[in-house]
């Protein structure tokens, strides 16, 4: 089997763990697609024997890990869900379609959706059901913005076969530049920025119990980093925002990538605490690396992704 010959299909499940049978139109355009086809927790038998040596180990919760990156781009038409919506939903996000206007994704704390992932490695198909995972977002100047996904799903043995992929719904991404990323504001300050990242840090657990087996999302703790050219204290006192010993300061962060309807992705965080600051050099310019914690405002709104 050739390493580069891979296909990934993904579709949201109607019933947890029941194959949603994704088709060619459910293909995901990925980077760095990888699979751990047999994983899980093992236990030793710990038998008493008259001689030394290893004991057999038993996998008590076999599962599959799938990881990949997806380029951040719109859907091609405002108010149409992007082709990557299914995998974001399986990472604890809801999807709200406002026809002709936009599609919004934001975290949920209940009724988590799951996805069926069909993974082909050059003639061998691994159908991974009941998948849930976590995602991080990375926008860096001069690069292509990406979402990084990591999924855990229920184990089933791979089978021989082939898949067909239709990737036409995926849009060509825009690099992160001044022209393509017109908005980057931190607590009301328009920053000269090098990068923005946030990791949803979902706690994903595999519970294999008597009468029930499920991959669950039990918590999340979104955090990230922002690297910006250091402003003067007059322009924006970043230390006043970071200092928590004099009271905690939180405010909004917004990043807008794209300028043409159909290929705009906007990230809003209404309540962000800057939890740390350090200095670094960027092309001879002094810059700040700001550690961030994303906090719910009204609830389930610490990160809102709007595709429009």
pLDDT grade for 218, boundaries at 50, 70 and 90: very high
Query: Can you tell me which residue has the tokens 């809801």?
Result: 94
Q: Considering its fold, how many domains does the chain have in total?
A: 1
- Residue 85's domain comprises 6-36+59-307
**Is there a domain that residue 53 lies in?**
no
Q: pLDDT tens for residues 244-273?
A: 887 788 999 999 999 999 999 999 999 999
Query: Residues for the chain: how many in total?
Result: 308
What average pLDDT does range 187-212 have in this prediction? 96
Q: Which of 263, 294, 131 is nearest to 197 (CA)?
A: 294
27-45 burial, b at 16+ Cβ within 10 Å, e below that, comes to bbbbeebebebebbeeeee
Check residue 4 and give its pLDDT.
84
**Is there a domain that residue 43 lies in?**
no
CA torsion through residues 256, 282, 200, 116, sign: positive
Average pLDDT, rounded, for the chain? 96
**Is there a domain that residue 47 lies in?**
no
**Is there a domain that residue 235 lies in?**
yes
**Is there a domain that residue 302 lies in?**
yes
Check residue 301 and give its pLDDT.
96
**Which of 8-12, 211-215, 245-249, 271-275 comes out lowest in average pLDDT?**
245-249
Query: Can you tell me which residue has the tokens 């049978």?
Result: 21
Check residue 168 and give its pLDDT.
96
pLDDT grade for 1, boundaries at 50, 70 and 90: confident
Burial category of 62 from C-beta neighbours within 10 Å (exposed 0-12, middle 13-18, buried 19 and up):
middle
Check residue 244 and give its pLDDT.
87
**Rounded to whole angstroms, what are the CA distances from 9 to 87, 109, 131, 171?**
10, 26, 12, 17
CA torsion through residues 267, 268, 274, 275, sign: negative
What average pLDDT does range 202-207 have in this prediction? 97
State residue 193 phi and psi, 5-degree precision.
Answer: -120, 150
Asked if 44 and 55 touch (Cβ cutoff 8 Å), the reply is yes
pLDDT grade for 2, boundaries at 50, 70 and 90: confident
- Tell me the three state secondary structure of residue 290: strand
Q: pLDDT tens for residues 104-148?
A: 999 999 999 999 999 999 999 999 999 999 999 999 999 999 999
pLDDT grade for 51, boundaries at 50, 70 and 90: very high
Q: Is 0.85 surpassed by the pTM of this model? A: yes
Q: pLDDT tens for residues 60-116?
A: 999 999 999 999 999 999 999 999 999 999 999 999 999 999 999 999 999 999 999
Paired with 269 in beta bridges are 253
What average pLDDT does range 211-239 have in this prediction? 96
**Is there a domain that residue 46 lies in?**
no
**Is there a domain that residue 54 lies in?**
no
| Neighbour tally for 212: CB within 10 Å | 7
pLDDT more than 90, % of the chain = 91
121-149 burial, b at 16+ Cβ within 10 Å, e below that, comes to beeebbbbbbbbbbbbbbbbbeebbbbbb
């Amino acid at each position: 089997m050739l390493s580069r010959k891979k296909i990934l299909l993904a579709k949201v499940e109607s019933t947890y763990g029941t194959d949603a049978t994704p088709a060619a139109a459910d293909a995901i355009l990925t980077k760095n697609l990888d699979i751990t086809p047999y994983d899980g927790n093992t236990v030793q038998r710990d038998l008493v024997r008259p001689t030394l040596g290893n004991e057999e180990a038993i996998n008590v919760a076999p599962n599959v890990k799938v990881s990949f990156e997806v380029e951040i781009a719109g859907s091609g038409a405002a108010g149409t869900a992007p082709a990557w919506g299914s995998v974001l939903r399986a990472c604890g996000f809801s999807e709200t379609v406002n026809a002709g206007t936009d599609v919004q994704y934001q975290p949920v704390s209940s009724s988590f959706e799951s996805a069926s992932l069909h993974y082909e490695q050059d003639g061998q198909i691994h159908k991974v059901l009941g998948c849930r995972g976590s995602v991080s977002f990375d926008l860096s100047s001069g690069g292509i913005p990406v979402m990084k996904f990591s999924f855990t799903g229920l184990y089933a043995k791979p089978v021989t076969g082939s898949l067909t992929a239709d990737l036409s719904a995926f849009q060509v991404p825009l690099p992160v530049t001044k022209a393509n990323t017109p908005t980057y504001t931190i607590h009301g300050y328009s920053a000269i920025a090098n990068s923005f990242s946030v990791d949803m840090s979902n706690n994903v657990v595999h519970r294999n119990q008597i009468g029930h087996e499920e991959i669950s999302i039990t918590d999340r703790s979104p955090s990230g980093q922002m690297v910006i050219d250091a402003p003067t204290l007059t322009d924006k006192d970043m230390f006043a925002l970071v200092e928590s010993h004099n009271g905690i300061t939180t405010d909004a962060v917004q990043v807008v990538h794209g300028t043409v309807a159909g290929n705009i992705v906007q990230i809003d965080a209404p309540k962000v605490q800057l939890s740390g600051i350090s200095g670094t050099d960027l092309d001879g310019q002094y810059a700040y690396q700001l550690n961030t914690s994303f906090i719910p405002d009204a609830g389930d709104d610490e990160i809102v992704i709007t595709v429009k």
